[in-house]
Every structure is written in C-alpha cells, then in structure tokens.
A and B are shown apart, each in its own frame.
Chain A
Amino acid sequence: RKEVEQDPGPFNVPEGATVAFNCTYSNSASQSFFWYRQDCRKEPKLLMSVYSSGNEDGRFTAQLNRASQYISLLIRDSKLSDSATYLCVVVSSSGSARQLTFGSGTQLTVLP
C-alpha cells in the first residue's frame, strides 16, 4: 500500500460545482496533514492544514478521519482559478525535523 494515496483524476467540473477529493494514508502514527495545491511546473503552495475536528477556509473544507486513515477536501462554488493539482500531504516522520510525504496529486480542471 502506498504511503499516501490519491485518486489522480482528472476531475473536470463546471464553474460553480462542488467537488470532493479523498486521500488515504498508511501510517497510523502520522501526525499532521495538509492540502497543498500545485499549478503546472510551479512549487507546491499550502492550501490548508487539516485538523481532527475538521476545518473550513472560505469555500474549502477539510476533514480528517483518523480511524479510517483518510482526509478529504471539499471545494464549493468552484472557480476557474481553482484549476490545479491538489496534493495530499502527510507528516510521517517522528524525527527531529518534519518530513512531508506527498500523494501523487489529484488534477482538477474547472471549466467555464
């Protein structure tokens, strides 16, 4: 089983649609979880952290289910500018510095 697994997509949705991405992780000791977005040939940019109680930032909602070892990202009222690859990121190291483990990403295209 991959450490962090995502549906690669692509997801093609019309503007205004709601879209959800899921991600599963294999290490039950994982400590922190994030969603990053990556535009083509650009660096990953933090979208939001994912907290145990779930959290919302505008049109974006993240959920964590530790028992089932998955996290999710919901995007409401999607915009053209939301088109990107969404990366599920898990902190998997217990060492002195944090190592991010990335999923392969889910590609989203929002269509006009």
Chain B
Amino acid sequence: EPEVTQTPSHQVTQMGQEVILRCVPISNHLYFYWYRQILGQKVEFLVSFYNNEISEKSEIFDDQFSVERPDGSNFTLKIRSTKLEDSAMYFCASTPTSRNQPQHFGDGTRLSIL
C-alpha cells in the first residue's frame, strides 16, 4: 500500500535555527497537509496545500512557517527561527483528488528544540 514518507524521523535543533521537514506524499495525491502534535496534546492542523498554493492555514501557521513543493514529489515545511514551543511531532498527510477521501498520515518527524 502506498505510504506518505517523512524525513528525518527525529530532528534536534538549537533555538533560533531554521529547520526544514520533508514529506513525500502518495504519488497520485493532489492535496497536502501539515499537522503538529505537542507531546501529550491533540493533533492540530497547520496548513493545507493544493495546486501549488496554500488553501487554508490555522492561527498556529504564522510568518515563521512556510511550505513549498519544490519538485514533483517533495512537500516541505520550513520553520525559520525555531522556538522552544515548536518542539512537537509534525505529521504530513495527503489525499487524492476526491474531497471525500480520508487523509493518510506519514509517520511523523519529532522536532526537538534545545
């Protein structure tokens, strides 16, 4: 079964540094998403992406965050100047063309900010 893959599985970064989290969505999917989950808390929506632009974003997704689809396969989340509170699991998800399909999640990147 096709999978969403994410790299790295764990990223440790000094506060104030930039990080890029990478995702390879399922190949025929057209809608892409980032979510985060702070340890012990619920999964929170960050941003959705379709047709090479952001469709929706949450209040969490402020100016320090950006997303990009630099080529035909990768979908990246960049955090420009990381804060301690950015430490979380970051999940990428994708869906195919139909809006009624459930989302498939990657196994996440654990981001630890020191």
Q: Which residues of A are in contact with B by a Cβ distance under 8 Å?
A: 32, 34, 38, 41-46, 49, 87, 93, 95-105
Contact = CB atoms under 8 A, between A and B. Distances in A.
Interface in B47-91: 48-50, 55-56, 58, 89, 91
Contacts of B95: 98
B25 interface: no
Contact of A98 (B31, B42, B105): B31
A41 B107 CA distance: 9
Nearest to B100: A32
A87 B58 CA distance: 20
B106 A43 contact: yes
Interface string B11-49: 000000000000000000001010100000111110011
Nearest to A42: B107
Contacts, number: 62
Contact of A97 (B41, B56, B100): B56
Per CB-CB distance, the 9 closest pairs between chain A and chain B, nearest first, are A97-B48, A97-B55, A102-B43, A43-B105, A104-B42, A46-B102, A43-B107, A95-B56, A97-B31
A99 B110 CA distance: 22
A46 B104 contact: yes
B8 to A, nearest CB: 15
Residue with the greatest number of chain B CB neighbours at <10 A, chosen from A96, A97, A100, A105: A97
Nearest to A43: B105
B61 to A, nearest CB: 11
Nearest to B56: A95
A104 B45 contact: no
10 contacts: A42-B108, A43-B105, A44-B105, A46-B102, A46-B103, A97-B33, A97-B48, A97-B56, A99-B33, A103-B42
Contacts of B43: 38, 44, 87, 100, 102
Contacts of B33: 97, 99-100
